Structure 1
Amino acid sequence: MKAHLVKWGFIAAGAMNIGGVLIFSRLFTNSAIHIADPVVMSNFGLLMIVIWGFAYLGASQIKGNVRWLAAAFTIEKLVYVLAWLTWYSKEALDAVYQQDLFAGIFYSIYGLNDLVFMLFFAWVYWINRPEAAMH
């Protein structure tokens, strides 16, 4: 059961990264996303989010222990959650919505989405610790 949840969790994470970026950025053409955060959400940054999505999809196919891979993914998601919280504390979300609905939705949800998957990856790390295998 856990292996099934892990597999589908990785697939969901990949789908959210890839699909979310491609939809909300309108295939990298939505300049409102870059304007709101030109460092983290540049086209290069968005492309790297898609690449992480493919890494999650690849991890979904691993049959063995993915403990340290999940740890890396946890840290990666933590960085994005912190970037989102920093952005959210300094920027006006209303202004982003006024510029573009998709960009507004993107900035409303991306940090929460990353928080959910950060917790999922941390759980995968936790259940794959050596002590858990003995139970």
Structure 2
Amino acid sequence: SVAALSEPIKAFLKAKVPVLSVVIGEGGSLGALSLLVSDRILMLSYSYLSVISPEVGASVLFKDRSMKKDIAKALKITSEELLNFNVINGIIEEPFTGAHRNPELTIQTVKEALQKEFELLLKEPSENLLKRRAEKFEKFKI
């Protein structure tokens, strides 16, 4: 429900500590909206983020789930596309064969990215974090 969806967004907007989100797979539902309020959003290179999955979008718009590739392309849901549109802040490179093929390396890479981001965010006064999150929320018209 919309009410349930708004709770994490409210919590993120009020948090006096850094909020960092990492998309590690498929972020394709309304729950993905709450991630957009984070101070920083990172994605694994082969992940996607969208408020609607390509399959559902194809079903709704075309009544044909086989159109999911066309919808995915139109939605601009890849990590590179979202970085270019300033929706996310960074991409964590995965092994060429995917994170699932080398989980130890992926975990280490994510850990290093999180440490780097938190080191930067922890230097920021809480007031600045809160202000920027509110501005981001307004920008995305969530």
Query: TM-score scaled to structure 2, two decimals?
Result: 0.31
More helix by share: 1
Report 1 or 2 for greater relative contact order, CA contacts < 8 Å, sequence distance ≥ 6. 1
Query: TM-score scaled to structure 1, two decimals?
Result: 0.32
